[in-house]
């Protein structure tokens, strides 16, 4: 079938494209995620050192300011009198300062002063006076006219418990007579680091959310339409009745519309070719019979033979007429992709109309129909098609049931499905015919006449069921055949 070959080719190509796109997306997001985490860690690790650099710069200024204070009354050693007064008063001061999101209430700067030999002559905490600090980097380097700074941990296992020491030389007549070191706990920057990290985490969250939105948008605008088209052509390849999916506008939408037009044209062409072949085959036999009867009538046979051949011509003509009508009905729904208009129907009303249309058949064979249907059952369907499906099933049940038999129709709701079951008291379906009973033009001989029908009635019912999103089955019951017609109730 041309359509199947077309959709198979599209299905293979679209699946390959879809899989390649998915693989690329997975690789991209994996690389992005790894890179994003590494970048986040790198930036996070850089926050604390940058704050320490800023702190060191301000401490350097403070150290030189205090060194200038100590130099004012210095002789051969630094004069710490003014420094003692300033530090004592500053440590006693209480205030409220809101520095961005941090509240500060006390001064937490410390200081000590050494002489030219590195001996501590002043300590703002009063603990280290008299001790030799000449080997400490801040003092040693400053006495050697280098930049003196050091960081020492209070707890060696915890890097956040360190203190930062920044020193400045104390001069007298161009000679270094001592060193003043300003001390600041490095954990004083911890609140600022935490705030920066929270902001970084928030920014990272927004960035991740943006990536997710981008991915969702990519899926909605690119992957989803391709996937819908792939599923569509897969269903066509399986010969399912499906409508063209809504893939939006743009190039993918145009592609979907172009594919649908191509499918309709190719399928329509094949459909016409198939029906011409089938119709030619089906009417060949009755036409031959009509021609043979007409040729015999030209010879003016006896009256009894004439009536026989005239009846045969009328019968075969009706057969062709019935075949053409059935073909038109079947082709009208096979060309539909979906129901044009569904309406809310009471099931018992539709069933009563179908029974009424078949009443002449039941009367002719003295058959009785029993209907079991709750009058409150409602379904969403196209009335004419559903009624026609019930009529075909009832006609089939009547044709294969003996005279005086009972045909039972039961309609129920099972969850969200409407199920109509029709049971007859005929001979049932032969085992060899069970798999072919819904094939187009396949028919079994009627028990009472031995003649076959057009073989289009059950095919018509199958198309109607699938058009409504349902199915139909015909099996053997304990007595006779049982047809089960099932569609969604809503």
Give residue-wise pLDDT tens across range 322-332.
666 666 655 55
- Per-residue pLDDT band at 264 (split at 50, 70, 90): low
Helix (H) / strand (E) containing 175: strand 175-185
Contact 297, 309 (CB under 8 A): yes
Least confident of 158-162, 209-213, 317-321, 389-393: 158-162
Least confident of 235-249, 360-374, 449-463: 235-249
Average pLDDT over the chain, rounded to whole?
Answer: 76
Q: Pairing mode, if any, of strands 120-123 and 110-115?
A: antiparallel
- 369 or 459: which carries more pLDDT confidence? 369
* Cα(6)–Cα(96) distance, integer angstroms: 79
The tokens describing 75, both together, are 């002789």
- 63 or 54: which carries more pLDDT confidence? 63
By CB atoms closer than 10 A (0-12, 13-18, 19+), residue 288 is exposed
End-to-end CA distance of the chain: 34
The tokens describing 264, both together, are 């309709």
pLDDT of residue 174: 87
pLDDT of residue 168: 94
By CB atoms closer than 10 A (0-12, 13-18, 19+), residue 11 is buried
Helix (H) / strand (E) containing 476: strand 471-476
- Per-residue pLDDT band at 7 (split at 50, 70, 90): very low
Least confident of 262-266, 425-429, 430-434: 262-266
Residue 460: strand, helix, or coil? helix
By CB atoms closer than 10 A (0-12, 13-18, 19+), residue 296 is middle
Indicate whether 8 pLDDT > 60: no
Size of the chain in residues: 490
Indicate whether 55 pLDDT > 70: yes
Contact 369, 395 (CB under 8 A): no
CB-hemisphere CA count at 13 Å for 145?
4
Contact 420, 485 (CB under 8 A): yes
User: Above pLDDT 90, what percent of the chain?
Assistant: 15
Query: What is the mean pLDDT of the segment spanning 443-455?
Result: 69
Query: What is the mean pLDDT of the segment spanning 75-83?
Result: 87
* Cα(482)–Cα(447) distance, integer angstroms: 17
* Cα(455)–Cα(206) distance, integer angstroms: 65
For 395, which DSSP code?
H
What Rg value do the Cα atoms of the chain yield, rounded? Answer: 48
* Cα(55)–Cα(43) distance, integer angstroms: 19
Helices (H), 299-382: 303-334, 347-357, 359-364
pLDDT of residue 1: 44
Helix (H) / strand (E) containing 259: helix 250-298
Name the nearest CA neighbour of 91 among 113, 107, 69: 107
Helices (H), 345-456: 347-357, 359-364, 383-399
* Cα(205)–Cα(198) distance, integer angstroms: 10
By CB atoms closer than 10 A (0-12, 13-18, 19+), residue 465 is buried
φ/ψ of 233, rounded to 5, equals: -70, -30
pLDDT of residue 332: 58
Indicate whether 9 pLDDT > 90: no
Domains and CATH numbers, the chain: 2-193 (3.30.450.20), 250-334 (1.10.287.130), 343-488 (3.30.565.10)
Give CA separation, 242 vs 147, 228, 467, in Å.
Answer: 82, 12, 9
The tokens describing 52, both together, are 């320490």
For 243, which DSSP code?
P
Contact 364, 449 (CB under 8 A): no
* Cα(441)–Cα(327) distance, integer angstroms: 10
- 135 or 34: which carries more pLDDT confidence? 135
Name the nearest CA neighbour of 365 among 448, 428, 457, 421: 448
Helix (H) / strand (E) containing 167: strand 162-172
Indicate whether 112 pLDDT > 70: yes
For 300-355, the pLDDT digits (tens) are 777 777 777 777 777 667 666 666 666 665 555 655 556 667 788 888 999 998 88
* Cα(374)–Cα(371) distance, integer angstroms: 10
Query: What is the mean pLDDT of the segment spanning 132-139?
Result: 92
- 58 or 115: which carries more pLDDT confidence? 115
pLDDT of residue 146: 93
Query: What is the mean pLDDT of the segment spanning 36-57?
Result: 66
For 375-431, the pLDDT digits (tens) are 888 888 888 888 888 988 898 888 888 889 999 999 998 888 899 999 998 888 888
Indicate whether 367 pLDDT > 60: yes
Least confident of 66-70, 137-141, 237-241: 237-241
Indicate whether 171 pLDDT > 90: yes
> In sequence order, which residues have a C-beta less than 8 Å from that of residue 369 and are 6 or more positions away?
355, 358, 362, 394, 406, 407, 408, 409
Query: What is the mean pLDDT of the segment spanning 244-272?
Result: 62
In the block, residue with structure tokens 């280290």? 128
Strand partners, 408: 370, 423
* Cα(163)–Cα(123) distance, integer angstroms: 15
- Select, from the ranges 93-97, 239-243, 308-312, 349-353, the one with the highest average predicted confidence (pLDDT): 349-353
- 172 or 252: which carries more pLDDT confidence? 172
């Amino acid at each position: 079938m041309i359509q199947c070959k077309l959709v198979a080719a599209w299905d293979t190509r679209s699946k390959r494209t879809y899989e390649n796109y998915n693989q690329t997306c997975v690789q991209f997001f994996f690389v992005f995620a790894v890179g994003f985490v590494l970048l986040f860690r790198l930036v996070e690790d850089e926050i604390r050192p940058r704050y320490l650099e800023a702190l060191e710069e301000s401490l350097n200024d403070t150290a030189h300011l205090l060194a200038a204070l100590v130099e004012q009354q210095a002789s051969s050693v630094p004069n710490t009198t003014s420094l003692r007064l300033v530090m004592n008063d500053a440590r006693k001061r209480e205030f409220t300062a809101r520095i961005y999101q941090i509240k500060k209430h006390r001064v937490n700067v410390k200081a000590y002063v050494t002489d030219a030999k590195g001996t501590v002559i002043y300590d703002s905490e009063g603990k280290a006076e008299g001790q030799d600090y000449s080997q400490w980097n801040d003092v040693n380097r400053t006495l050697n006219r280098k930049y003196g700074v050091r960081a020492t941990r209070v707890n060696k296992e915890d890097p956040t418990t360190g203190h930062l020491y920044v020193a400045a030389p104390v001069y007298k007549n161009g000679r270094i007579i001592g060193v003043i070191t300003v001390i600041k706990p490095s954990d004083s920057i911890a609140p600022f680091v935490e705030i920066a990290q929270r902001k970084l985490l928030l920014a990272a969250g927004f960035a991740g959310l943006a990536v997710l939105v981008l991915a969702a948008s990519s899926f909605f605008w690119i992957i989803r339409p391709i996937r819908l088209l792939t599923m569509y052509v897969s269903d066509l390849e399986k010969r399912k009745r499906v409508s063209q999916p809504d893939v939006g506008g743009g190039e993918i939408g145009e592609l979907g519309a172009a594919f649908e037009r191509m499918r309709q044209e190719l399928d329509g062409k094949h459909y016409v070719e198939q029906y011409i072949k089938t119709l030619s085959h089906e009417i060949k036999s009755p036409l031959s019979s009509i021609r043979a009867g007409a040729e015999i009538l030209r010879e003016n046979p006896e009256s009894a033979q004439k009536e026989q051949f005239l009846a045969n011509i009328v019968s075969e003509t009706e057969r062709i007429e019935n075949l053409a009508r059935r073909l038109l009905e079947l082709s009208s729904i096979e060309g539909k992709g979906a129901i044009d208009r569904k309406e809310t129907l009471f099931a018992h009303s539709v069933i009563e109309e179908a029974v009424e249309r078949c009443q002449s058949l039941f009367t002719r064979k003295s058959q009785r129909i029993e209907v079991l249907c709750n009058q409150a059952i409602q379904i969403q369907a196209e009335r004419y098609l559903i009624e026609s499906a019930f009529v075909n099933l009832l006609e089939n049940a009547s044709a294969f049931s003996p005279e005086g038999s009972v045909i039972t129709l039961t309609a129920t709701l099972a969850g969200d499905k409407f199920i109509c079951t029709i049971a007859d008291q005929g001979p049932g379906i032969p085992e060899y015919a069970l798999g072919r009973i819904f094939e187009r033009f396949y028919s079994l001989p009627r028990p009472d006449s031995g003649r076959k029908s057009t073989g289009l009635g059950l095919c018509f019912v199958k198309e109607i069921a699938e058009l409504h999103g349902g199915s139909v089955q015909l099996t053997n019951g304990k007595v006779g055949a049982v047809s089960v017609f099932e569609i969604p109730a809503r």
